[in-house]
A = this chain, B = another copy of it.
Amino acid sequence: MVDHLLGIEGLSKTEIHRYLDAAHSFVEVSERDIKKVPTLRGKTIIHVFFEPSTRTLSSFDIAGKRLSADTINISASSSSVKKGETLLDTVRTLESMNPDVLVIRHSESGAAHFAARNLTRSSVVNAGDGAHEHPTQALLDLLTLRQHFASSKRPIEGLRIGFVGDVRHSRVARSNIWAHIALGNEVRLIGPPTLVPMDFARAFNSPLVNVVHDLREGLRDLDVVVCLRMQLERQSEHFVPNLDEYSKEFCVSERLLREFAPSSVVLHPGPMNRGTEISGEVADGPRSLIHRQVNNGVAVRMAVLYLLARTLDPREEGSER
């Protein structure tokens, strides 16, 4: 009976929309004077972050608190992991404190799945595992697109979306790609061959996913451009020769968007390196949905926590997976 959110891979279009529908109804809560509902009163949510995070952790924490849950934050730096305890012992120890949800961020791909397999009573939410998945980020990106395209009565099915930059190491891209495949959208992965290797795309085994190594060509006629964060350490790891050169070729600028994808909107998971992967003009301009993403992050996490941790009415249980 315990459900988890470990990744977008494997979710159906219906399941994705179920999260978005719930999130949609929570957006309004954060705009009220009294930004709080009693939904998860008496539930305990533990955030275990083995990697540092401001934005994702704050977003989950605010989401839990606005649902009236009790939230506990554990960071790796102060954790028993330092003392040599295994991940298994850590999560089992935490489960023994009867949390309803464990929200896990970890540098290893598969960490959240491993936790979920070994827990019996707590739900697990993957808040980012290595370069693997970051499902709540994909859901908030989708919610942002659904809101945007709703104004022109377009559904989020049938979009053309491009991911620009360090696709290879991006759990954000990976979760989003699975979602867009489920929605039937055309996905373009744009960047130099070191950051967008051909076999990366092949792993999704979908004709919808294509690789383009030229930014102009990649942007052409996109509805949505997702700029990915360039991590500065990539340079020393030789994935990019030099950040200046990189940004000359791959920084998403307003000039390029106007020419090649004039009606596109732009997303960025943050934190941004202005001038590296995205120009300040784009980030702050009218096609940027970036602050809307952050805003939706709280709503999406409220939805996920709600769907996992609420107490089901016994009569409903049959209809839940």
Contacts and interface: CB of A to CB of B under 8 A. Distances in A.
Contacts of A62: 44, 70, 72, 97, 99
A78 B31 CA distance: 27
Contacts of A43: 34-35
Interface string A20-47: 0000000000111111100001111010
A298 interface: yes
Interface stretch (A152-160, A194-202, A271-279): A271-279
B78 A52 contact: yes
A232 B84 contact: yes
Contact of A46 (B35, B58, B92, B273): B58
Given A44-B65, A58-B74, A62-B72, A93 B53 contact: no
A291 interface: yes
A46 B294 CA distance: 15
A298 to B, nearest CB: 5
A61 interface: yes
Contacts of A61: 72
A253 interface: no
A12 interface: no
Interface string A122-157: 000000000000000000000000000000000000
Contact of A78 (B30, B53, B72, B85): B53
A205 interface: no
Contact of A96 (B35, B46, B84, B291): B291
Interface in A230-266: 232
Contacts of A54: 74, 78-80, 90
Best-buried of A31, A52, A85, A93 by chain B (most CB within 10 Å): A93
The 9 closest A-B pairs by CB, nearest first: A34-B42, A85-B271, A96-B294, A36-B42, A65-B70, A80-B271, A96-B291, A30-B98, A54-B79
8 contacts: A35-B42, A36-B42, A54-B79, A57-B78, A59-B97, A65-B70, A89-B270, A96-B292
